[in-house]
Protein backbone atom coordinates (compact mmCIF):
# COMPACT_ATOMS: atom_id res chain seq x y z
CA UNK A 1 0.00 0.00 0.00
CA UNK A 2 1.27 3.45 -0.92
CA UNK A 3 1.15 5.75 2.10
CA UNK A 4 1.31 9.50 1.95
CA UNK A 5 3.31 10.65 5.01
CA UNK A 6 1.15 11.64 7.97
CA UNK A 7 0.98 11.94 11.73
CA UNK A 8 -2.20 10.74 13.42
CA UNK A 9 -3.77 12.45 16.38
CA UNK A 10 -5.03 8.99 17.28
CA UNK A 11 -4.38 6.03 15.01
CA UNK A 12 -7.70 4.36 14.12
CA UNK A 13 -8.29 0.78 15.14
CA UNK A 14 -8.87 -0.18 11.51
CA UNK A 15 -5.35 0.74 10.41
CA UNK A 16 -3.80 -2.69 11.03
CA UNK A 17 -6.77 -4.28 9.25
CA UNK A 18 -6.14 -2.01 6.27
CA UNK A 19 -2.41 -2.76 6.22
CA UNK A 20 -3.07 -6.51 6.10
CA UNK A 21 -5.77 -6.05 3.46
CA UNK A 22 -3.46 -4.00 1.22
CA UNK A 23 -0.30 -6.02 1.80
CA UNK A 24 1.85 -5.92 -1.36
CA UNK A 25 -0.71 -3.72 -3.13
CA UNK A 26 1.19 -0.83 -4.71
CA UNK A 27 -1.86 0.20 -6.71
CA UNK A 28 -3.74 1.41 -3.58
CA UNK A 29 -2.83 4.74 -1.97
CA UNK A 30 -3.79 5.77 1.55
CA UNK A 31 -4.09 9.52 2.23
CA UNK A 32 -4.82 11.05 5.63
CA UNK A 33 -6.47 14.45 5.93
CA UNK A 34 -3.71 15.56 8.27
CA UNK A 35 -5.20 18.33 10.38
CA UNK A 36 -2.01 18.48 12.48
CA UNK A 37 -0.25 19.90 9.43
CA UNK A 38 -0.50 23.66 9.98
CA UNK A 39 0.31 24.31 6.33
CA UNK A 40 -2.85 22.47 5.28
CA UNK A 41 -5.24 24.96 6.84
CA UNK A 42 -8.60 24.32 5.17
CA UNK A 43 -7.13 23.42 1.76
CA UNK A 44 -8.55 19.94 2.09
CA UNK A 45 -10.03 19.95 -1.41
CA UNK A 46 -6.55 20.36 -2.91
CA UNK A 47 -4.47 18.47 -0.36
CA UNK A 48 -4.97 14.84 -1.44
CA UNK A 49 -4.48 15.55 -5.15
CA UNK A 50 -1.26 17.43 -4.43
CA UNK A 51 0.06 14.57 -2.30
CA UNK A 52 -0.90 11.95 -4.89
CA UNK A 53 0.84 13.88 -7.65
CA UNK A 54 4.09 13.58 -5.68
CA UNK A 55 3.99 9.77 -5.49
CA UNK A 56 6.61 7.96 -7.60
CA UNK A 57 4.11 5.21 -8.40
CA UNK A 58 0.71 6.21 -9.73
CA UNK A 59 -2.06 4.37 -7.83
CA UNK A 60 -5.27 3.18 -9.42
CA UNK A 61 -7.23 3.45 -6.16
CA UNK A 62 -7.14 5.83 -3.22
CA UNK A 63 -8.52 5.60 0.30
CA UNK A 64 -8.93 8.98 1.99
CA UNK A 65 -8.96 9.05 5.76
CA UNK A 66 -10.92 11.78 7.52
CA UNK A 67 -12.33 9.53 10.21
CA UNK A 68 -12.58 12.07 13.03
CA UNK A 69 -14.40 14.70 10.99
CA UNK A 70 -17.62 15.35 9.04
CA UNK A 71 -16.66 17.78 6.31
CA UNK A 72 -19.26 19.33 4.02
CA UNK A 73 -20.36 17.50 0.88
CA UNK A 74 -19.47 20.37 -1.47
CA UNK A 75 -15.89 20.47 -0.18
CA UNK A 76 -15.57 16.71 -0.59
CA UNK A 77 -16.96 16.91 -4.11
CA UNK A 78 -14.23 19.42 -4.99
CA UNK A 79 -11.63 17.13 -3.44
CA UNK A 80 -12.80 14.12 -5.46
CA UNK A 81 -12.96 16.19 -8.65
CA UNK A 82 -9.33 17.24 -8.14
CA UNK A 83 -8.30 13.59 -7.73
CA UNK A 84 -10.20 12.60 -10.87
CA UNK A 85 -8.05 15.04 -12.82
CA UNK A 86 -5.08 12.80 -12.00
CA UNK A 87 -6.71 9.94 -13.90
CA UNK A 88 -8.23 8.09 -10.93
CA UNK A 89 -11.85 7.17 -11.61
CA UNK A 90 -14.48 8.25 -9.09
CA UNK A 91 -15.47 4.64 -8.37
CA UNK A 92 -11.86 4.02 -7.30
CA UNK A 93 -11.96 6.71 -4.59
CA UNK A 94 -13.15 5.77 -1.09
CA UNK A 95 -13.71 8.46 1.53
CA UNK A 96 -13.73 7.46 5.22
CA UNK A 97 -15.50 9.95 7.50
CA UNK A 98 -16.94 10.24 11.00
CA UNK A 99 -20.37 11.55 10.03
CA UNK A 100 -23.50 9.44 10.27
CA UNK A 101 -24.61 9.66 6.63
CA UNK A 102 -23.02 6.95 4.50
CA UNK A 103 -25.54 6.66 1.65
CA UNK A 104 -23.37 8.72 -0.72
CA UNK A 105 -21.55 6.39 -3.14
CA UNK A 106 -17.86 6.23 -2.29
CA UNK A 107 -18.37 7.35 1.33
CA UNK A 108 -18.18 5.07 4.36
CA UNK A 109 -18.78 5.94 8.00
CA UNK A 110 -16.27 4.95 10.67
CA UNK A 111 -17.87 4.92 14.18
CA UNK A 112 -15.06 7.00 15.63
CA UNK A 113 -16.59 7.99 18.97
CA UNK A 114 -18.75 4.99 19.79
CA UNK A 115 -15.94 3.44 21.84
CA UNK A 116 -15.64 6.48 24.13
CA UNK A 117 -17.42 4.58 26.95
CA UNK A 118 -14.20 2.59 27.30
CA UNK A 119 -11.87 5.61 27.17
CA UNK A 120 -10.92 8.13 29.81
CA UNK A 121 -13.21 10.90 28.59
CA UNK A 122 -16.38 8.96 29.49
CA UNK A 123 -15.28 5.93 31.49
CA UNK A 124 -14.64 8.15 34.52
CA UNK A 125 -18.39 8.70 34.84
CA UNK A 126 -19.20 5.00 34.91
CA UNK A 127 -17.75 4.70 38.41
CA UNK A 128 -17.68 8.31 39.58
CA UNK A 129 -21.04 10.05 39.38
CA UNK A 130 -23.42 11.57 41.91
CA UNK A 131 -26.28 9.19 42.78
CA UNK A 132 -29.51 10.08 40.99
CA UNK A 133 -31.54 10.86 44.11
CA UNK A 134 -28.80 13.15 45.49
CA UNK A 135 -28.66 15.49 42.52
CA UNK A 136 -29.61 19.15 42.95
CA UNK A 137 -29.72 20.70 39.46
CA UNK A 138 -32.15 20.08 36.61
CA UNK A 139 -29.68 20.25 33.72
CA UNK A 140 -26.08 20.67 32.63
CA UNK A 141 -25.13 22.52 29.43
CA UNK A 142 -21.48 22.41 28.33
CA UNK A 143 -20.37 24.60 25.42
CA UNK A 144 -16.61 25.07 25.50
CA UNK A 145 -16.40 26.59 21.99
CA UNK A 146 -19.05 29.32 21.57
CA UNK A 147 -20.46 28.38 18.14
CA UNK A 148 -23.56 30.35 17.17
CA UNK A 149 -26.03 27.63 18.20
CA UNK A 150 -24.35 27.17 21.59
CA UNK A 151 -24.51 30.89 22.26
CA UNK A 152 -28.12 30.91 21.03
CA UNK A 153 -29.23 28.16 23.40
CA UNK A 154 -27.45 29.88 26.28
CA UNK A 155 -29.36 33.07 25.45
CA UNK A 156 -32.56 31.00 25.54
CA UNK A 157 -31.61 29.74 29.00
CA UNK A 158 -31.07 33.31 30.19
CA UNK A 159 -34.32 34.53 28.65
CA UNK A 160 -36.31 31.67 30.17
CA UNK A 161 -34.76 32.10 33.65
CA UNK A 162 -33.26 28.61 33.53
CA UNK A 163 -29.65 29.45 34.43
CA UNK A 164 -30.20 29.03 38.18
CA UNK A 165 -31.50 25.50 37.57
CA UNK A 166 -28.41 24.33 35.69
CA UNK A 167 -24.66 23.99 35.39
CA UNK A 168 -23.82 26.14 32.36
CA UNK A 169 -20.64 26.87 30.44
CA UNK A 170 -20.29 28.74 27.16
CA UNK A 171 -17.08 30.14 25.73
CA UNK A 172 -14.79 28.48 28.25
CA UNK A 173 -11.99 27.44 25.90
CA UNK A 174 -8.88 29.61 26.42
CA UNK A 175 -8.91 31.25 22.97
CA UNK A 176 -12.54 32.27 23.25
CA UNK A 177 -12.01 33.53 26.78
CA UNK A 178 -9.02 35.64 25.77
CA UNK A 179 -10.44 36.95 22.48
CA UNK A 180 -14.09 37.67 23.11
CA UNK A 181 -15.00 39.38 19.85
CA UNK A 182 -17.19 36.34 19.07
CA UNK A 183 -19.77 37.96 21.34
CA UNK A 184 -20.26 40.71 18.75
CA UNK A 185 -21.13 38.02 16.18
CA UNK A 186 -23.32 35.58 18.04
CA UNK A 187 -24.91 37.26 21.11
CA UNK A 188 -28.12 38.77 19.79
CA UNK A 189 -29.41 40.52 22.93
CA UNK A 190 -27.08 43.38 23.97
CA UNK A 191 -28.30 43.07 27.55
CA UNK A 192 -26.93 39.52 27.74
CA UNK A 193 -23.49 40.24 26.29
CA UNK A 194 -21.87 41.07 29.63
CA UNK A 195 -22.91 37.67 31.03
CA UNK A 196 -20.72 35.81 28.53
CA UNK A 197 -18.56 33.78 28.75
CA UNK A 198 -20.06 31.33 31.23
CA UNK A 199 -17.44 29.39 33.20
CA UNK A 200 -17.89 26.49 35.60
CA UNK A 201 -14.35 25.76 36.74
CA UNK A 202 -12.19 28.15 34.75
CA UNK A 203 -11.12 27.84 31.14
CA UNK A 204 -10.85 24.39 29.60
CA UNK A 205 -8.68 23.56 26.58
CA UNK A 206 -9.54 20.84 24.10
CA UNK A 207 -7.48 18.11 25.79
CA UNK A 208 -7.65 19.38 29.36
CA UNK A 209 -11.14 18.02 29.99
CA UNK A 210 -9.69 14.50 29.97
CA UNK A 211 -7.71 15.19 33.12
CA UNK A 212 -10.05 17.41 35.12
CA UNK A 213 -12.11 16.11 38.00
CA UNK A 214 -15.62 16.43 36.61
CA UNK A 215 -17.91 14.20 38.68
CA UNK A 216 -19.68 17.38 39.82
CA UNK A 217 -21.10 17.67 36.29
CA UNK A 218 -23.32 14.69 37.10
CA UNK A 219 -25.17 16.81 39.69
CA UNK A 220 -28.02 17.21 37.21
CA UNK A 221 -30.82 15.08 35.76
CA UNK A 222 -30.75 16.36 32.17
CA UNK A 223 -27.84 16.88 29.76
CA UNK A 224 -28.39 19.60 27.17
CA UNK A 225 -26.00 18.37 24.49
CA UNK A 226 -24.75 20.96 22.01
CA UNK A 227 -23.18 18.63 19.49
CA UNK A 228 -20.33 19.43 17.12
CA UNK A 229 -22.72 19.85 14.17
CA UNK A 230 -25.51 22.23 13.31
CA UNK A 231 -26.75 24.14 10.29
CA UNK A 232 -24.78 27.16 9.17
CA UNK A 233 -26.20 30.31 10.73
CA UNK A 234 -28.85 31.68 8.32
CA UNK A 235 -27.12 35.09 8.35
CA UNK A 236 -23.57 33.74 8.27
CA UNK A 237 -22.48 35.55 5.11
CA UNK A 238 -24.08 38.81 6.19
CA UNK A 239 -22.40 38.70 9.57
CA UNK A 240 -18.97 38.47 7.94
CA UNK A 241 -19.66 40.81 5.02
CA UNK A 242 -18.02 43.79 6.73
CA UNK A 243 -15.89 41.82 9.18
CA UNK A 244 -12.27 42.98 9.00
CA UNK A 245 -10.63 41.06 11.84
CA UNK A 246 -9.75 37.37 12.10
CA UNK A 247 -12.68 34.98 12.22
CA UNK A 248 -13.06 33.37 15.66
CA UNK A 249 -12.62 29.60 15.84
CA UNK A 250 -16.29 29.43 16.80
CA UNK A 251 -17.18 30.50 13.26
CA UNK A 252 -16.42 26.94 12.13
CA UNK A 253 -18.40 23.81 12.96
CA UNK A 254 -19.60 20.76 11.09
CA UNK A 255 -22.97 20.85 9.36
CA UNK A 256 -23.59 17.14 8.79
CA UNK A 257 -25.00 14.75 11.37
CA UNK A 258 -22.19 13.60 13.64
CA UNK A 259 -22.27 11.42 16.75
CA UNK A 260 -19.34 12.37 18.95
CA UNK A 261 -18.59 11.69 22.60
CA UNK A 262 -21.01 14.55 23.39
CA UNK A 263 -23.99 12.41 22.34
CA UNK A 264 -22.73 9.47 24.40
CA UNK A 265 -21.98 11.56 27.48
CA UNK A 266 -25.55 11.65 28.92
CA UNK A 267 -25.66 7.86 28.88
CA UNK A 268 -22.35 7.60 30.75
CA UNK A 269 -23.40 10.30 33.22
CA UNK A 270 -26.94 8.86 33.59
CA UNK A 271 -28.63 12.05 32.42
CA UNK A 272 -31.67 12.51 30.19
CA UNK A 273 -30.54 13.74 26.76
CA UNK A 274 -31.75 16.87 24.98
CA UNK A 275 -29.87 17.63 21.75
CA UNK A 276 -28.99 21.02 20.27
CA UNK A 277 -27.84 19.96 16.82
CA UNK A 278 -29.02 19.21 13.27
CA UNK A 279 -32.51 18.05 12.43
CA UNK A 280 -32.99 14.27 12.62
CA UNK A 281 -30.30 13.54 15.21
CA UNK A 282 -32.80 12.06 17.66
CA UNK A 283 -34.51 10.06 14.91
CA UNK A 284 -31.16 8.56 13.98
CA UNK A 285 -30.65 7.42 17.57
CA UNK A 286 -34.15 5.94 17.72
CA UNK A 287 -33.54 4.10 14.45
CA UNK A 288 -30.50 2.46 16.07
CA UNK A 289 -32.62 1.35 19.02
CA UNK A 290 -31.16 3.91 21.44
CA UNK A 291 -33.53 4.96 24.23
CA UNK A 292 -34.04 8.75 24.05
CA UNK A 293 -36.58 8.72 26.93
CA UNK A 294 -39.54 9.91 24.86
CA UNK A 295 -41.84 9.28 27.83
CA UNK A 296 -40.08 12.08 29.75
CA UNK A 297 -38.47 14.37 27.15
CA UNK A 298 -40.33 16.04 24.28
CA UNK A 299 -37.98 15.81 21.30
CA UNK A 300 -40.29 17.59 18.85
CA UNK A 301 -37.45 20.06 18.18
CA UNK A 302 -35.85 17.27 16.16
CA UNK A 303 -38.42 17.85 13.39
CA UNK A 304 -37.93 21.63 13.11
CA UNK A 305 -36.37 22.75 9.82
CA UNK A 306 -35.19 26.27 10.62
CA UNK A 307 -32.08 26.13 12.82
CA UNK A 308 -32.84 29.22 14.93
CA UNK A 309 -36.42 28.05 15.53
CA UNK A 310 -35.03 24.61 16.44
CA UNK A 311 -32.81 26.17 19.12
CA UNK A 312 -35.83 28.04 20.48
CA UNK A 313 -37.87 24.84 20.74
CA UNK A 314 -34.95 23.17 22.55
CA UNK A 315 -34.94 26.10 24.97
CA UNK A 316 -38.67 25.72 25.54
CA UNK A 317 -38.19 22.04 26.38
CA UNK A 318 -35.44 22.82 28.91
CA UNK A 319 -37.77 25.40 30.49
CA UNK A 320 -40.55 22.79 30.72
CA UNK A 321 -38.19 20.29 32.34
CA UNK A 322 -37.01 22.93 34.82
CA UNK A 323 -40.61 23.64 35.77
CA UNK A 324 -41.11 19.97 36.69
CA UNK A 325 -38.80 20.51 39.65
CA UNK A 326 -36.11 18.42 41.34
CA UNK A 327 -38.56 16.23 43.27
CA UNK A 328 -40.19 15.03 40.05
CA UNK A 329 -36.89 13.71 38.74
CA UNK A 330 -35.77 12.20 42.04
CA UNK A 331 -38.68 9.77 42.06
CA UNK A 332 -37.69 8.32 38.67
CA UNK A 333 -35.70 5.09 38.47
CA UNK A 334 -33.78 5.09 35.20
CA UNK A 335 -30.39 3.50 35.88
CA UNK A 336 -31.24 0.24 34.08
CA UNK A 337 -32.43 2.15 31.00
CA UNK A 338 -29.22 4.18 30.84
CA UNK A 339 -27.16 0.99 30.98
CA UNK A 340 -29.28 -0.69 28.31
CA UNK A 341 -28.80 2.32 26.03
CA UNK A 342 -25.04 2.33 26.68
CA UNK A 343 -24.85 -1.34 25.73
CA UNK A 344 -26.85 -0.60 22.60
CA UNK A 345 -24.26 1.99 21.53
CA UNK A 346 -21.54 -0.62 21.92
CA UNK A 347 -23.58 -3.11 19.87
CA UNK A 348 -24.00 -0.47 17.18
CA UNK A 349 -20.25 0.07 17.12
CA UNK A 350 -19.73 -3.61 16.30
CA UNK A 351 -22.41 -3.49 13.59
CA UNK A 352 -20.91 -0.37 12.01
CA UNK A 353 -17.35 -1.73 12.22
CA UNK A 354 -18.39 -4.95 10.50
CA UNK A 355 -20.06 -2.97 7.69
CA UNK A 356 -17.03 -0.71 7.45
CA UNK A 357 -14.58 -3.60 7.12
CA UNK A 358 -16.77 -5.28 4.48
CA UNK A 359 -16.97 -2.10 2.38
CA UNK A 360 -13.22 -1.61 2.73
CA UNK A 361 -12.53 -5.20 1.69
CA UNK A 362 -14.87 -5.00 -1.31
CA UNK A 363 -13.28 -1.75 -2.42
CA UNK A 364 -9.70 -3.05 -2.28
CA UNK A 365 -10.48 -6.38 -3.94
CA UNK A 366 -12.90 -5.29 -6.67
Q: Secondary structure of 171-208 in the HEC alphabet?
A: CCCHHHHHCCCHHHHHCCCHHHHHHCCECCCCCCCCCH
pLDDT tens track, the chain, 366 positions: 666 655 555 566 788 888 888 888 888 888 877 554 545 555 777 878 887 888 888 888 999 887 778 888 888 888 889 889 989 999 999 998 888 876 788 888 888 888 887 776 788 888 889 999 999 999 999 999 999 999 999 999 999 999 999 999 999 888 888 878 899 899 999 999 999 999 987 777 665 565 566 889 999 999 999 999 999 999 999 988 888 777 788 888 889 999 999 999 999 999 999 999 999 999 999 999 999 999 999 999 999 999 999 999 999 999 999 999 999 999 999 999 999 999 999 999 999 999 999 999 999 988
- 262's CB contacts (< 8 A; 6+ apart) are 225, 226, 227, 228
Q: What is the pLDDT of residue 210?
A: 54
CB 65 within 8 A of CB 12: yes
Q: What is the pLDDT of residue 280?
A: 97
Q: What is the pLDDT of residue 125?
A: 85
Q: What is the pLDDT of residue 38?
A: 45
Length of the chain: 366
Q: Where do the domains of the chain lie, and which CATH numbers do they carry? A: 2-110 (no CATH), 115-347 (3.40.50)
Angle at 12 between CA 10 and CA 15, to 5 degrees: 130
Dihedral sign for Cα atoms in the order 177, 181, 184, 190: positive
- 364's CB contacts (< 8 A; 6+ apart) are 21, 22, 25, 28, 61
Amino acid sequence: MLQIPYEYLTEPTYFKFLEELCQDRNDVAFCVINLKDASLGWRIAEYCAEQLANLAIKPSKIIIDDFTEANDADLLERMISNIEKLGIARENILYIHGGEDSATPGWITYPTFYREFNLLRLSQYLTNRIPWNQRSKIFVSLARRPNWFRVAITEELIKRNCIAHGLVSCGSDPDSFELQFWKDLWVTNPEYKSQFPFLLDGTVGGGEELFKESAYLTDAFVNLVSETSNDRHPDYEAKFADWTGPRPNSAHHWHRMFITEKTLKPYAMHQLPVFNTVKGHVKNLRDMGIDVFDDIVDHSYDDVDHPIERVQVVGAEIERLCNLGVDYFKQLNLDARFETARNRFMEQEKIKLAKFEQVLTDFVRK
